[in-house]
Structure 1
Amino acid sequence: MSEPARQTPSHDSAIRTPGTAAPLRDWLAAMRAAAGETRAAEPASAEPALRPRVVEPAPAEPAPEARAPSPDKIGTAWAPRLVTAAKAGEETDDELAEIMAENMMLKAKLRLEAERRDEIQIILAAELRELRAHIAEEVGKMEDLRAERDLWRARCEALASPLFQIGQR
């Protein structure tokens, strides 16, 4: 708990950077669009109700970097479009995701620390019970020694009392 959570290595930190999230999303959107175009080119099947419907979100605004396919490349292989940087909303989403991940990590650490504290308290309670039992045993032994000492003192006084009585002989 002494080390800050931001210094803990995260598995997603190398993968998720603000610049890499947007091209992936655009690539997936382009793949869906290409799949939709190929489905539109295919003849209609006998059972259209059984085919799953793909719903694509409408683009908010056309990206200025998006290039229209040239007429000579329409029949060639598909290539993803290039997008420069993530928008401010995506950066806040990334920051929010990072904060949520950090929060989850801190909650997990807190849960582990609580479990460790409970285990330590159980062990400490057992040790205290053993120590109290040992102390009670030692106090009992000491009381026995005091009783034996008092008994021997009384015996000694009883045996020595005739020696110190001078006047009665």
Structure 2
Amino acid sequence: MAESLYIPTTENRQEIYEAILPQVKALITDEADLIANLANISAVLREAFGFFWVGFYLKKENQLVLGPFQGPIACTRIPFTKGVCGHCYSTQQTVIVPDVEEFPGHIACASASKSEIVLPVFDKSGEVCMVLDVDSDKLNDFSETDAEGLGNILKVLEGTL
């Protein structure tokens, strides 16, 4: 089990994702507890990038329910048809929102959130079982580099489900 995290001193997000990916794998591969793994992934991402909010929403019955996260208090329940998380869940696609104020139906859990990326997490049967939600307090803070880097981390997680 890792006790510390190595984060390269660079502004290049691709290099940071490449550095943390094997560390996330080492953190979660031998840990069977899902909640512990989601908590550690959230902590790694917040520490590595300083994102405003990082966390998971888990599919429970007919909605997404707040799971482990790092950041300010968050919305607890999100219908599948509402907000960026609901859109990600229902389309099963990564959603990058440069300005949350321009996203129809955006749920404002925190007024400091300015941009967002949400990625689906698939279980072994190919169903979306949760989403990873990352918010920034900067406009247009996410790109395809983030989609790819976060997606690679989620592939490691999916391998443990």
Shorter-chain TM range is: under 0.3
Higher relative contact order, chain-length normalized (CA < 8 Å, sep 6+): 1
More helix by share: 1
